Amino acid sequence: MGTEELLLNAVFYVFAIGAVAAAIGVALSPNIIRSAFALLGVLFSVAALYAFMRADFIVAAQIIIYVGGILVLIIFAVMLTHKITDVNVSNESAHGPAAVFAVLCMLVSLCVIATWMWKWDRSAPAESPAPAVVTLLGDSKPSTASVSMALLQGDGSTGVVPGGEVRSPFAILRYTVTSASARAQSAHVTLECSERIENQPKPEKRWAPWGQVRETTLALADGKGSAEERFSGLKPGRYRWIATFADEKGILVLVKHVCPTCRMEGEPRAVCSTPDCEHKGKPLVTQPWEVQGAEFTVEAGLTRPLGVALMTRYLLPFELVSVLLLAALVGAAYLARKEVKEA
């Protein structure tokens, strides 16, 4: 474990212990004002934990909404409704059973975690994750495939973020850098592809089923730095993806389905539907998909994917939440207003 990693762990444990200690402080402090300030500590420490997970937008939301909004409201309520000198407010009789119940809950959750432990990230990276969005720009028809990939781990494994639609037979689920020499300009990369069409009667052998592994080579567009350092964490920037796909003999091909005459593209097993094409009604032909030179950009951070998700897939829940917030605002103002006594 290097110095950097040790330092990262140390800082993490400072915040982790801070969060836990402050949470226990909230639970046990007899003074409600101290509880409120301990809650401040919890909220800030949790924001730091989000930062460790590189969820930047959630850090900002946590600090602005929780610390800036909710906590200030709570402290206001404490100050408005409470005499500072009057501190003993807890319910003494319930402490024993409640403590037993909380400890039991704790044990159950720890057991669940222990059962699943080591199963989630056996090949855990030496770094914390670097969520980055990889968008395939593409100069030719890969532009139809705007693939968004979130960098999952520091070792280059990725997952696909929904929002990028792939109009291709493949979705690249994740890729792993299997070998990259220190000075090389390219890395040997394992691609885990999936087929978008399921239950195909006779799957063509050139297509990988779910989870099948393909290998390719990624090279850097600008030729700067070694592949090892660049692909272990893909810094924001523009990259060129020089993909050599191989079939069963060693040449992998990313295929697309086109009509041989009118070049119409479509789903696998589709038929040509161009009105005046002589191949109309006949199945499309599988062709290698030219992806050499496709470029992709890497953006760090969660802000953009979150914004895209909130404006597309989660638009209705998002609007409902905004209506709910408005209703809560009006309701709170109505509840808290003082009755005007008539003379």
Partner 1 sequence: MSFTDFAFTRHPIENMLVISAIIFCAGLYTVMTRKNAVSILMGVELILNAANINFVTFSQYLPTHGIDGGVFSIFVILLAAAEAAVALAIIIGIYQNFGRVDVDVADTMKE
Q: For residues 45-74, which are near partner 1 according to CB under 8 A?
A: 46, 49-50, 52-55, 57-58, 61-62, 65-66, 69-70, 73-74
Nearer to partner 1, 20 or 213 (CB): 20
Dump the DSSP string for 253-281. Answer: --EEEE-TTT--EESTT-B---TT-TTTT
What is the Cα 206 distance to its own chain's centre?
30
Buried b (16+ CB within 10 A) or exposed e, 26-41: beebeebeebbbbbbb
Q: What are phi and psi of 323, to 5 degrees?
A: -65, -40
Does position 8 interact with partner 1 (CB under 8 A)? The reply is: yes
Q: How far apart are CA 150 and CA 173, in angstroms?
A: 10
Report how many residues bind partner 1 under the rule CB under 8 A.
96
Per DSSP, the three-state class of 109 is helix
Amino acid at 314: Y
Q: Mapping DSSP to helix (H, G, I), strand (E, B) and coil, where does residue 114 land? A: helix
Q: Binding of partner 1 at residue 20 (CB under 8 A)? A: yes
Say how far apart CA 19 and CA 35 lie, in whole Å: 13
- Pick between residue 56 and residue 215 the one whose CB is nearest to partner 1: 56
Does residue 309 bind partner 1 (CB under 8 A)? yes
Written as six digits, the tokens of 27 are 């639970």
The nearer residue to partner 1, 251 or 321, going by C-beta atoms, is 321
Using the contact rule CB under 8 A, the part of the chain among 134-142, 255-263, 286-294, 301-309 near partner 1 is: 301-309
Pick 86 or 248: Cβ nearer partner 1: 86
Residue placing its CB nearer to partner 1 in the complex, 202 or 337: 337
Work out which of 246, 251, 315, 332 binds partner 1, going by CB under 8 A: 332
- The one-character DSSP state at 161 is P
172 binds partner 1 (CB under 8 A): no
- State in angstroms the smallest separation of the CB of 46 from partner 1: 5
Q: Scanning residues 24 to 43, which ones bind partner 1 (CB under 8 A)?
A: 24, 26-27, 32, 35-36, 39, 42-43
Tell me whether residue 268 or residue 305 sits nearer to partner 1 (CB atom). Answer: 305
Q: Which is nearer to partner 1, 31 or 144 (CB)?
A: 31
- On the 0-12 / 13-18 / 19+ scale of CB atoms within 10 A, 186 is middle
Q: Would you state the structure tokens that stand for residue 292, as one six-digit string?
A: 């050499």
| Orientation angle between helical segments 315-336 and 303-311, nearest 10 degrees | 90
Using CB under 8 A, which residues numbered 87 to 146 contact partner 1?
89-91, 94-95, 98-99, 101-103, 105-106, 109-110, 113, 117-118, 120-121, 124-129, 131
